[in-house]
Structure 1
Amino acid sequence: MTEPQTDPKYYDVVEATWPCLRCEKLGDITLRVGAGGGSRVSAATCDALVSDAQIAQAEAAMQDFDQPRLFMIRDGQDALDGQLERLGYAVMDPVALWTVAPSMLTDVEIPRVTTFCLWEPLAIQREIWATGGIGPERLAIMERATRPKTSLLGRWDDKPAGAAFVGVHEGIAMLHALEILPHQRRKGMGVWMMRQAAYWAAEQGATELAVLCTRANAGANALYARLGMQQSGGYHYRIKR
């Protein structure tokens, strides 16, 4: 089955709702300084075909940033993908984009005291994120994101269960950093968190709710499929070790 091609607007939503520390232009290459926030805010992107020499310049800059030599390959960039493969770059972390209309997830009322929206995040949410490796560098990304934005807190059996972050850009809400505590998994908490994100997105006037997920995360991808979300494209990285 042919994979859907990603509408470029979604890449803009990623940039706006999960922003890097700063960007620098090197011709048709955009370099990102992620300040330890992970691949999404550190990967370079190309706006057009570039030469091997330009890629070498970008590599030197990324190393000056103390970051890995990492590129994001967007849909339709087959030539760049092949070029980087020839230069010794390996595929890393293919990512799926899932989207849904908020109204598809607001048809069920969320049980009382199961989910909450709040900004700033509470200490307990920061602790939940920390259990999944979402530390200060990624919390700084949430702080950098412009409003509207919110954090989600989930509770189950009267105890903290999960945390997530949601931002809106140009009518599209995107959920990031969904983390459920290990002992609270397989209890439906992820469903309630996604429904809460949809309720909040609708309140902001968003017409879509989106989430990114590595294709290797079978459990999360199955959750989004069960919720009726549609795969709307994605991307992958190329890294040079």
Structure 2
Amino acid sequence: MTPDWFAVVDATWPAARIETRGNLVLREGRGGGKRVSAASAMGPLSGAEIGAAEDAMRAMGQQPLFQLRPGNEDLDAELAERGYDIVDPVNIYAIAAERLTDIPIPRVTVFTLWEPLAIMRELWAQGGIGPGRLAVMDRTKGPKTGLLMRHRDKPGGVAFVAIHDSVAMLHALEIPPHQRRQGLGKWAMRGAAFWALDNGAQTLSVVCTKANEGANALYRSLGMEIVGEYHYRLLDEGRETT
């Protein structure tokens, strides 16, 4: 059975609050990023419903932002007419976790632990992953862990992994500039795969913006395949329109 990839994203990187109004899903992100702040549609939306969604997002202190999934083509066109810009097209990658456990991980290369250590929080902060996104990790239910990578006896990177419906999804992979090009991204994914299998997940997945060429190349090199796509439309209310 094919996983519901959007349900996996929502469960492993959850909004602070979700409200459903007919075919509309509203998310309150509280600084957790686009994934937890964007509205989405489960079916057709009228112009009045779009307007009400915009008002609701403004009331949350958020810019009007929609996540567009396959099947949302009419909404996509309507938002374009309203002046929304496309931002951050995203790939969803997945692979059978066992395919990444063929090579043993060198000792003291990847550690799995929760709660995060202070050094993990520091590494995330250096990469722009601040308190709002750490709060997302804290409120995630079900099996979850942090990954801490080491290289040459120094912290080499950090990531977060959580499981929903037998699928593990990795988020917030951050490797500091001086530790890049050492293969730590691959070891992070392999460490996540071992942890996933140990905790009942059969599939490892990740989301990645299409513009991140390095990350896309990493996931393809591991044999991961694109299993879904989406993009956002953002209304820039500071821009003059004609």
Flag whether TM exceeds 0.5 (same fold).
Answer: yes
Secondary structure at 2:196's aligned position in 1? helix
Does 1:77 find its partner at 2:72? yes
Q: String of CA shifts for 1:46-99, please: whole Å, max 9, x gaps.
A: 111011111011101100111010000011211111111111111010000000
- Residue of structure 1 equivalent to 2:198: 203
Distance in structure 2 (CA, Å) of the matches to 1:233 and 1:141: 22
- Residue of structure 2 equivalent to 1:24: 19
- Residue of structure 2 equivalent to 1:153: 148
Distance in structure 2 (CA, Å) of the matches to 1:126 and 1:234: 29
Q: String of CA shifts for 1:125-165, please: whole Å, max 9, x gaps.
A: 00000011000110000000012000000000100010000
| Matched-pair contact (CA < 8 Å) for 2:143–2:163 | yes
- In angstroms, what is the RMSD of aligned CA positions? 0.9
- Percent pairwise identity: 55
- Shift, 1:24, TM fit: 1.4
| Matched-pair contact (CA < 8 Å) for 1:26–1:58 | no
Distance in structure 2 (CA, Å) of the matches to 1:26 and 1:111: 50
- Residue of structure 1 equivalent to 2:90: 95
Distance in structure 2 (CA, Å) of the matches to 1:199 and 1:26: 40
Secondary structure at 1:93's aligned position in 2? strand
Q: What one-letter code is carried by the residue in structure 2 that aligns with 1:65?
A: M
- Shift, 1:175, TM fit: 0.3
The number of equivalent residue pairs is 235
Q: String of CA shifts for 1:98-147, please: whole Å, max 9, x gaps.
A: 00001110000110100000010100000000011000110000000012
- Shift, 1:27, TM fit: 2.5
4+ residue runs over 4 A deviation: none
Does 1:139 find its partner at 2:170? no
Secondary structure at 1:209's aligned position in 2? strand
**TM-score normalised by L of structure 2:** 0.95
**Unaligned stretches of 5+ in structure 1?**
1-6
Q: What one-letter code is carried by the residue in structure 2 that aligns with 1:181?
A: P
- Shift, 1:25, TM fit: 2.1
Q: String of CA shifts for 1:7-52, please: whole Å, max 9, x gaps.
A: 6611001111100000112322111100011100000011110111
Distance in structure 2 (CA, Å) of the matches to 1:81 and 1:144: 31
Distance in structure 2 (CA, Å) of the matches to 1:74 and 1:161: 35
- Residue of structure 2 equivalent to 1:178: 173
Distance in structure 1 (CA, Å) of the matches to 2:70 and 2:103: 35
**Unaligned stretches of 5+ in structure 2?**
237-242
Secondary structure at 2:45's aligned position in 1? coil
- Residue of structure 1 equivalent to 2:160: 165
- Residue of structure 2 equivalent to 1:63: 58
| Matched-pair contact (CA < 8 Å) for 2:5–2:228 | no
